[in-house]
Structure 1
Amino acid sequence: MTVSSAVSAAPVAPAEQADPFRYGWRYVRRELPSGQLVFEQHPLTLDDVHYPQEGDFIVHSSEHERIRNYLYDALRAHLRADPEVVVLADVRVAWSAPGLRPLGPDVVVFSGVRQRRDWTTFDVAAEGAQTLLVVEITSPETRHIDLVDKVDEYAAAEVAEYVIVDLAGRRRSGQIVVRGYRLQDGAFLEAPRDADGRVLLQVGSLRIGTTGEDVLIFDAQGHPIGDYLEVEARLRDAEARIRELEERLKRAEGQA
């Protein structure tokens, strides 16, 4: 038996839409009659997106990716002091609840993690972890899954808090809507909000809401947590002001 690096596209049924790979794809190994192994590119279905396998490539919009990266970075930065808290983005999660299939949340926060690994699938039971928070960002195709199916699934998985950033709903309402839920007695109830309408999170005493056309995380005092580019820009401005003050001080000392 030989192994080939050849990659081919699997046959697509005529009933499929013009772009059969609109949800994404996975590579499936197949042995030819000659004994040669090839890897075929298979299009994902909506069910595959709901229940991903390791190695799947799922297509997201640039806005979806930007929001997810911001939420991931902001949560990591705010929760970094606790060595047993882990924030993951787009990693497959195997839950401890019997019969519940693995899911791929956009962002998830775990506590009680004693050893960090390079996870492709995070096994909640094997890690002895508790799921503090899951955040999903809707797309037009997955909106019903995030708003309906995953509410029940994450409750069954004993996720303490579930937040939905309804990006796809903006097409209907004209703005991004943030929905928050807290687990109580095995079911999700709507999470409380502050005076500005932001969802109050138990994890890190944070808040999440919208401002204009964007989604932001706020600290316990209500101050927004900026994204990496914004923080870097502020740092560079501060460094420039420090250099300017140092130059002024040197000139003043030279004139004294």
Structure 2
Amino acid sequence: MPVMVVDERKEPITGPYVVRMGGWTLERYLREAPEDQIWEFVRGEIIMHSPATAEHQRVTGFLYRLLQGYCEARGWGEVLMAPAALQVLPEVVREPDVFVVPPEEMERARGVPLTVRPALVVEVTSPATRGMDLGEKAAEYREAGIPEYWVVDRERQEVVAQWGTEVIRVREGRLISRAVPGFWLAVEWLFQEPLPPASACLQRILSEKAL
């Protein structure tokens, strides 16, 4: 279904946006949602996201390379990234930027939507999605029993980390995962311009213990 997002003058919107449309079923969403765009389904609504910026893609790719390289080196789990439909709750399908499937869930990581429970979910937020990422998504991931959730906010230069009802904001120093054994990163890496080489950061993660 072709959709064009326009302003009040009927001019195409070029900035970040989120569009919500009601009257959908999960079956229709799975049948019609495009595979190359971020469309989510939440309790009868579809949520369409604007195309990702280059800055968003760089941070997402950086995080994916760190997590993928770490999990591969340690033989622990599998790392996936958007667009990949994850059924968080019976009437909620999200497409997280990056998520880690633990070893015990890997055999079930097949088809659409994925019905696995990730160990860690990471969203790279923007002004258009911050309220959703920190609000309804955080509540959904907590309700689903996902043990760890990070929101990377480059504009505010902080990472919001959630473990159940515990939430902290980290602006500097090491952020240590509690769900992916031994994984950590220096929060400052995420806010450098340009981003540091992922390969060098991965070598540090693999060679230094998470303290």
Category of TM-score, reference length = shorter chain = 0.5 to 0.7
Task: Kindly indicate whether residue 153 of structure 2 is the aligned counterpart of residue 166 of structure 1.
Answer: yes
Query: Within the alignment, does 1:147 sit opposite 2:134 as a pair?
Result: yes
Structure 2 match to 1:80: 72
Aligned to 1:109: 100
Give the fraction of aligned pairs with identical amino acids, expressed as a percent. 25
1:206 lines up with 2:177 in the alignment: no
Among candidates 83, 86, 89, match of residue 93 of structure 1: 86
Q: How far, CA to CA, are the matches of 1:138 and 1:106 in structure 2?
A: 9
1:177 to 140, 151, 158: 158
Q: Which runs of 5+ in 2 are unaligned?
A: 39-50, 202-211
**1:210 aligned partner, one-letter code:** E
Write out per-residue CA displacement over residues 198-238 of structure 1, whole angstroms, 9 at most, x where no aligned residue: 322121322231248339xxxxxxxxx9415x58xxxxxxx
| Higher-RCO chain (CA-CA 8 Å, sequence separation at least 6) | 2
CA distance in 2 between partners of 1:84 and 1:189 (Å): 25
CA contact (8 A) 1:131 1:158 kept: no
1:227-246 correspondence runs (5 A):
227-228=198-199
What amino acid sits opposite 2:20 in the alignment? Answer: D
Could you tell me how far apart the structure 2 residues matched to 1:213 and 1:63 are? 11
For the residues of structure 2 that align with 1:105 and 1:144, how far apart are their CA atoms? 15
Corresponding residue number in structure 1 for 2:53: 61
Q: Does 2:116 align with 1:136?
A: no
User: Judging changes above 3 Å, is the alpha-carbon distance between structure 1 residues 70 and 98 closer, same or farther for their aligned structure 2 residues?
Assistant: same
Q: Give the structure 1 partner of residue 63 of structure 2.
A: 71
Equivalenced residues, count: 174
CA RMSD of aligned residues (A): 3.6
Asked if structure 2 preserves the Cα contact closer than 8 Å seen for 1:133 and 1:160, the reply is yes
Does the Cα contact within 8 Å between 2:109 and 2:115 map onto a contact in 1? no
2:167 counterpart (190, 200, 210): 190
Corresponding residue for 1:237? none
User: How far off is 1:88 after superposition?
Assistant: 0.5
Name the CA distance, whole Å, in 2 between partners of 1:88 and 1:212: 19
Gaps in structure 1 of 5+ consecutive residues: 1-7, 25-44, 125-129, 171-175, 216-224, 232-256
- TM-score under structure 2 normalisation? 0.66
With over 3 angstroms needed to count, the CA separation of the structure-2 counterparts of 1:213 and 1:22, relative to structure 1, is closer
Distance 1:150 1:85, change over 3 A: same
More strand by share: 1
| Post-superposition offset of 1:80 | 1.2
